[in-house]
Amino acid sequence: MNQAERPEGQEFRGAPQQDPAALSHAGQERSAGAVTPPGRFVVLEGIDGCGKTTQLERLRQWLPTSGLMPPGARLLTSREPGGTPLGQALRELLLHPPAGAAPCSDAELLLYAADRAQHVAQVIRPALEAGDWVLCDRFSGSTAAYQGYGRGLPLERIAALEGFATGGLEPDLTLWLELPLEESLRRRGGRAADRIEASGHDFLERVAAGFATLARQRSWQRVDARQSSEMVTQECQAALRCHAAAGAVQGRADG
């Protein structure tokens, strides 16, 4: 999707929800030891061209009137890399570096971590702490898939760096848009590849397999991205409803 069309950093207010109990998350924890901000953090992951940008825009339009968001909560959409002004500069360096400035694998990992640290500190955590919802195109899973499984950097090193960059913040829900690599290449068509996309077929195959492994390990919600974009949207919406319903049950158990 065209850069100018991307809806990053936009905010929308939720309509009054149909079931106020559906989003009771006070006191829940995303991960052991991490205090949970009251908002919701939803991430779209998958290989290049799997339809994240398309679905982010559709969910951006749907969520505020879905009845899932608490009254007054805002929806913020963002992406990585590039969800902050610093991130925009890092994105250019990462995807379209000037001649001679392409980062080595370790530097690439550190630049993605820097982008994420700034994004969490400046955008994501403040929004979640204010009770808002954040819908993000890519997060930590992409680093494990591309720099871990793709580049072959040690996953333990990546995990340690992630903890440092995010302060332990993890998504509440990750929607993994699963698409075969060949279909992703077909969808890309004649569009010029950025530096990561140009890393070669074997690299992209390792990334795609890495996403499948991560989805199993991290209990991501799989969405079949081969379907029409309307059907993909419906699956994403169903996953979000399910997640909210599970939150309501958990909230009642806690309360």
Closest CB to ligand Z5A among 2 and 18? 2
Closest CB to ligand Z5A among 146 and 220? 146
Instruction: Please give the residue ranges that form the binding site for ligand Z5A (CB under 6 A).
Output: 1, 48-54, 80-81, 112, 138, 142-143, 146-147, 187, 196-197, 228-229, 232
Please choose, from the candidates 150, 155, 116, 113, the residue with its C-alpha nearest in 3D space to the C-alpha of residue 136. 116
Q: How far is the CB of 115 from ligand Z5A (least distance, A)?
A: 7
Q: How far is the CB of 221 from ligand Z5A (least distance, A)?
A: 16
- Identify each DSSP E strand in the chain by its residue range: 11-13, 40-45, 74-79, 133-137, 173-178, 221-224
Closest CB to ligand Z5A among 12 and 112? 112
- 122 contact partners, CB below 8 Å, separation of at least 6: 84, 86
The two structure tokens encoding residue 235: 């699956």
Closest CB to ligand Z5A among 24 and 166? 166
Q: How far is the CB of 155 from ligand Z5A (least distance, A)?
A: 13
Q: Which residue has the tokens 């991130």?
A: 87
Rounded Cα distance, 70 and 59, in Å: 16
Rounded Cα distance, 43 and 142, in Å: 10
Rounded Cα distance, 51 and 226, in Å: 9
Q: How far is the CB of 99 from ligand Z5A (least distance, A)?
A: 20
Closest CB to ligand Z5A among 183 and 251? 183
Q: How far is the CB of 139 from ligand Z5A (least distance, A)?
A: 7
The two structure tokens encoding residue 58: 């559709």
